Structure 1
Amino acid sequence: MTFQELKPKVTAITSNNSLTRDEKLLIICQLLNSSIEYYNWVGFYFANHDTKTLHLGPYVGAETDHTVIPFGKGICGQVAVSNDNFVVPDVAAQDNYIACSFTVKSEIVVPLFANGQNIGQIDIDSHVIDPFTEADERFLEFVNEEVAKLY
């Protein structure tokens, strides 16, 4: 399914008033995971600015031990500090990478802003080296704009 075809589906999920926020996030994770072949782990992390940590929210994919990540640590932690998208074409070449699984070859993390503050991020792992393009970044920014309406 193309990104253009997915956009109205994402909007329909975030607009569904019969679902809780976490249910909406989980369904978005499921949609992306099942619709985009190289999205092998899809999840949201949310920031606690008091403790400077990220906390795992709804996700789809292999179980992870990384339920709390300090700001600055790993790709997700770096995005919590930089507020910028971070695309890692090959995790093996990245110094500050927290290994989740030997099957993960690349990662993309896009920050989630609500009311001008970085409140978290969407994190996607792939079992393929270098699959993410600018189109992925723009699409995930759209997803996060829709998710931000829930906050």
Structure 2
Amino acid sequence: MLLENLKPKVITILNNNELSVTDRLHEVCILLKENVSYYDWVGFYFKNGDKEELKLRTYAGLETDHEIIPFGKGICGQVALSNENFVVPDVKAQDNYIACSIDVKSEIVIPLFKDGKNIGQIDIDSDTADPFTEKDERFLEFINQEVAKIL
């Protein structure tokens, strides 16, 4: 499915006030995983209180042991410090990579800003080598902008 076609569905999910925020985020994870063929794991991490670490809030995909990620560690931890998108075409080429699954070949992490502060991120792993394009970056930035509205 085209990424653009998913935008109205994302908005509908996020505006469903009958669900908790976490449940809405989980529904977005499921929507993306089920409709984008190369999105094999989709999750939202958020800053864990005053700690210099990220905490996994919800995800769709295989179970992960990485529920807490210190700032600076792995791709997610680096984005927490850099405040910039990070696209990894080949995870094996990254020195500071935390492997979630031996099948993961690439990753994209987009920071989530609220009131100008980096408060979290969307993290996507793919079992496909180098699938992410600028369209994915813009689409995931859109999702994070919409998510920020309900936080």
TM-score normalized with structure 1 length: 0.98
Cross-structure match for 1:75: 75
Q: Aligned ranges for residues 27-46 of structure 1 at < 5 Å?
A: 27-46=27-46
Cross-structure match for 1:150: 150
In the TM superposition, residue 111 of structure 1 has moved relative to its aligned partner by 0.3
Number of equivalenced pairs: 151
Listed one character per residue, the Cα deviations across residues 11-52 of structure 1 (whole Å, up to 9, x for unaligned) are: 111111111101100000000000000000000000126210
Give the whole-Å Cα distance in 1 for the aligned partners of 2:7 and 2:38. Answer: 18
Alpha-carbon RMSD across the aligned residues, in angstroms, is 0.7
Identify unmatched segments of 5+ residues in structure 2.
Answer: none
Cross-structure match for 2:90: 90
1:120 partner SS:
strand
Cross-structure match for 1:47: 47
Aligned residues with identical type, % of pairs: 65
Identify unmatched segments of 5+ residues in structure 1.
Answer: none
TM-score normalized with structure 2 length: 0.98
- Code of the residue aligned with 1:134 in structure 2: it is E
In the TM superposition, residue 65 of structure 1 has moved relative to its aligned partner by 0.5
Give the whole-Å Cα distance in 2 for the aligned partners of 1:21 and 1:65. Answer: 23
- Code of the residue aligned with 1:129 in structure 2: it is A
